[in-house]
Amino acid sequence: MVGFDREPVIIQGGNRMFTIAKRTDYGLMALSYLAEQEEDEAITSRAIAERFCIPAELLAKTMQLLARSELVESRNGPKGGYVLSRRPESISVAEVIRAIEGPIAMATCQIGDATGCEQYEKCTIFYPMERIQKKVTDVLEGMTLQDMVGTPAGEIR
Protein backbone atom coordinates (compact mmCIF):
# COMPACT_ATOMS: atom_id res chain seq x y z
CA MET A 1 0.00 0.00 0.00
CA VAL A 2 1.16 3.52 -0.76
CA GLY A 3 2.08 5.89 2.09
CA PHE A 4 -0.51 8.59 2.65
CA ASP A 5 0.15 12.30 2.70
CA ARG A 6 -3.58 13.03 2.84
CA GLU A 7 -6.02 13.19 5.72
CA PRO A 8 -7.97 9.97 6.26
CA VAL A 9 -11.58 9.65 5.17
CA ILE A 10 -13.83 10.28 8.13
CA ILE A 11 -17.30 8.94 7.49
CA GLN A 12 -19.29 11.84 8.88
CA GLY A 13 -22.69 12.35 10.40
CA GLY A 14 -24.49 15.68 10.52
CA ASN A 15 -27.07 16.25 7.83
CA ARG A 16 -25.75 13.29 5.86
CA MET A 17 -25.45 9.74 7.07
CA PHE A 18 -22.19 8.62 5.43
CA THR A 19 -20.26 10.57 2.85
CA ILE A 20 -17.17 10.10 0.74
CA ALA A 21 -15.39 12.76 -1.29
CA LYS A 22 -16.60 13.65 -4.77
CA ARG A 23 -13.21 12.60 -6.17
CA THR A 24 -13.84 9.11 -4.79
CA ASP A 25 -17.22 9.05 -6.56
CA TYR A 26 -15.43 10.08 -9.75
CA GLY A 27 -12.74 7.44 -9.24
CA LEU A 28 -15.35 4.72 -8.79
CA MET A 29 -17.21 5.90 -11.90
CA ALA A 30 -13.97 5.88 -13.92
CA LEU A 31 -12.94 2.43 -12.70
CA SER A 32 -16.40 1.01 -13.39
CA TYR A 33 -16.22 2.45 -16.89
CA LEU A 34 -12.78 0.90 -17.44
CA ALA A 35 -14.18 -2.43 -16.23
CA GLU A 36 -16.83 -2.27 -18.97
CA GLN A 37 -14.27 -1.86 -21.77
CA GLU A 38 -12.80 -4.59 -23.93
CA GLU A 39 -9.90 -6.27 -22.20
CA ASP A 40 -6.70 -4.27 -22.62
CA GLU A 41 -8.47 -1.26 -24.21
CA ALA A 42 -6.87 1.87 -22.73
CA ILE A 43 -9.08 4.93 -22.17
CA THR A 44 -7.74 8.41 -21.46
CA SER A 45 -8.81 10.28 -18.35
CA ARG A 46 -10.01 13.09 -20.63
CA ALA A 47 -12.33 10.69 -22.49
CA ILE A 48 -13.71 9.42 -19.18
CA ALA A 49 -14.16 12.99 -17.90
CA GLU A 50 -16.07 13.94 -21.05
CA ARG A 51 -18.23 10.80 -20.85
CA PHE A 52 -19.37 11.58 -17.31
CA CYS A 53 -19.08 15.42 -17.33
CA ILE A 54 -16.40 15.25 -14.63
CA PRO A 55 -13.79 18.04 -14.21
CA ALA A 56 -10.88 16.73 -16.32
CA GLU A 57 -8.10 18.03 -14.06
CA LEU A 58 -9.64 16.50 -10.94
CA LEU A 59 -10.14 13.16 -12.66
CA ALA A 60 -6.55 13.20 -13.99
CA LYS A 61 -5.23 13.66 -10.43
CA THR A 62 -7.57 10.94 -9.17
CA MET A 63 -6.38 8.53 -11.86
CA GLN A 64 -2.77 9.24 -10.84
CA LEU A 65 -3.62 8.22 -7.27
CA LEU A 66 -5.23 5.04 -8.56
CA ALA A 67 -2.14 4.32 -10.68
CA ARG A 68 0.16 4.87 -7.68
CA SER A 69 -1.93 2.38 -5.73
CA GLU A 70 -1.62 -0.07 -8.65
CA LEU A 71 -5.38 -0.27 -9.27
CA VAL A 72 -4.91 1.01 -12.81
CA GLU A 73 -2.04 0.91 -15.25
CA SER A 74 -1.13 4.02 -17.21
CA ARG A 75 -0.10 3.48 -20.83
CA ASN A 76 1.69 5.98 -23.04
CA GLY A 77 1.49 6.44 -26.78
CA PRO A 78 -1.19 7.04 -29.39
CA LYS A 79 -3.40 4.27 -27.94
CA GLY A 80 -2.49 5.24 -24.40
CA GLY A 81 -4.68 5.81 -21.40
CA TYR A 82 -5.69 3.73 -18.42
CA VAL A 83 -6.62 0.07 -17.99
CA LEU A 84 -7.45 -1.84 -14.83
CA SER A 85 -4.43 -3.56 -13.27
CA ARG A 86 -6.56 -6.47 -12.08
CA ARG A 87 -9.89 -8.05 -12.88
CA PRO A 88 -12.86 -5.98 -11.61
CA GLU A 89 -14.00 -8.72 -9.24
CA SER A 90 -10.67 -8.49 -7.40
CA ILE A 91 -10.81 -4.72 -6.74
CA SER A 92 -12.89 -3.78 -3.71
CA VAL A 93 -14.62 -0.46 -3.16
CA ALA A 94 -12.63 -0.19 0.09
CA GLU A 95 -9.35 -0.40 -1.87
CA VAL A 96 -10.50 2.41 -4.13
CA ILE A 97 -11.49 4.63 -1.20
CA ARG A 98 -8.15 4.01 0.53
CA ALA A 99 -6.23 4.71 -2.68
CA ILE A 100 -7.90 8.08 -3.12
CA GLU A 101 -8.63 9.21 0.44
CA GLY A 102 -6.42 7.21 2.78
CA PRO A 103 -7.59 5.10 5.75
CA ILE A 104 -11.34 4.73 6.28
CA ALA A 105 -12.60 5.69 9.75
CA MET A 106 -15.87 6.52 11.46
CA ALA A 107 -13.96 8.85 13.80
CA THR A 108 -10.37 10.05 14.02
CA CYS A 109 -9.80 7.91 17.13
CA GLN A 110 -10.36 4.81 14.98
CA ILE A 111 -7.04 5.45 13.23
CA GLY A 112 -3.78 4.69 14.97
CA ASP A 113 -3.40 5.28 18.71
CA ALA A 114 -6.76 6.24 20.23
CA THR A 115 -5.15 7.00 23.60
CA GLY A 116 -4.06 10.33 22.12
CA CYS A 117 -7.69 11.47 22.19
CA GLU A 118 -8.51 13.69 25.18
CA GLN A 119 -11.84 11.86 25.58
CA TYR A 120 -10.36 8.35 25.46
CA GLU A 121 -10.50 7.68 29.23
CA LYS A 122 -14.15 8.80 29.44
CA CYS A 123 -15.37 7.65 26.04
CA THR A 124 -18.33 5.28 26.23
CA ILE A 125 -18.75 4.90 22.47
CA PHE A 126 -15.25 3.97 21.32
CA TYR A 127 -15.91 0.21 21.17
CA PRO A 128 -19.42 0.48 19.70
CA MET A 129 -18.03 2.85 17.03
CA GLU A 130 -15.23 0.37 16.39
CA ARG A 131 -17.84 -2.36 15.76
CA ILE A 132 -19.78 -0.05 13.42
CA GLN A 133 -16.59 0.78 11.56
CA LYS A 134 -15.78 -2.90 11.14
CA LYS A 135 -19.24 -3.57 9.66
CA VAL A 136 -18.98 -0.60 7.27
CA THR A 137 -15.48 -1.65 6.23
CA ASP A 138 -16.63 -5.25 5.72
CA VAL A 139 -19.40 -4.03 3.38
CA LEU A 140 -16.93 -1.88 1.42
CA GLU A 141 -14.43 -4.77 1.26
CA GLY A 142 -17.17 -7.13 0.07
CA MET A 143 -18.34 -4.91 -2.79
CA THR A 144 -16.20 -4.98 -5.93
CA LEU A 145 -16.00 -3.04 -9.17
CA GLN A 146 -17.69 -6.00 -10.83
CA ASP A 147 -20.72 -5.34 -8.63
CA MET A 148 -20.88 -1.81 -10.05
CA VAL A 149 -20.46 -2.68 -13.74
CA GLY A 150 -23.51 -2.34 -15.92
CA THR A 151 -25.61 -0.50 -13.35
CA PRO A 152 -27.72 2.10 -15.18
CA ALA A 153 -27.46 5.68 -13.92
CA GLY A 154 -29.69 6.22 -10.93
CA GLU A 155 -30.41 2.52 -10.37
CA ILE A 156 -29.88 1.09 -6.93
CA ARG A 157 -29.54 -2.66 -6.49
Structural domains in the chain, CATH included, are 9-147 (1.10.10.10)
Q: What is the pLDDT of residue 115?
A: 67
Q: What is the pLDDT of residue 155?
A: 54
Amino acid at 136: V
146 CB-contact burial (10 Å; exposed 0-12 / middle 13-18 / buried 19+): middle
Task: Determine phi and psi for 62, rounding to 5 degrees.
Answer: -65, -45
Q: What is the pLDDT of residue 124?
A: 87
Ranges of residues in the chain with a pLDDT under 70 are 1-18, 108, 112-116, 151-157
Q: How many residues does the chain have?
A: 157
Pairing of strands 81-84, 72-75: antiparallel
Pairing of strands 9-10, 104-105: parallel
How many angstroms separate the most distant Cα atoms in the chain?
Answer: 60
CA distance 143 to 64: 23
CA distance 157 to 148: 9
pTM summary value? 0.80
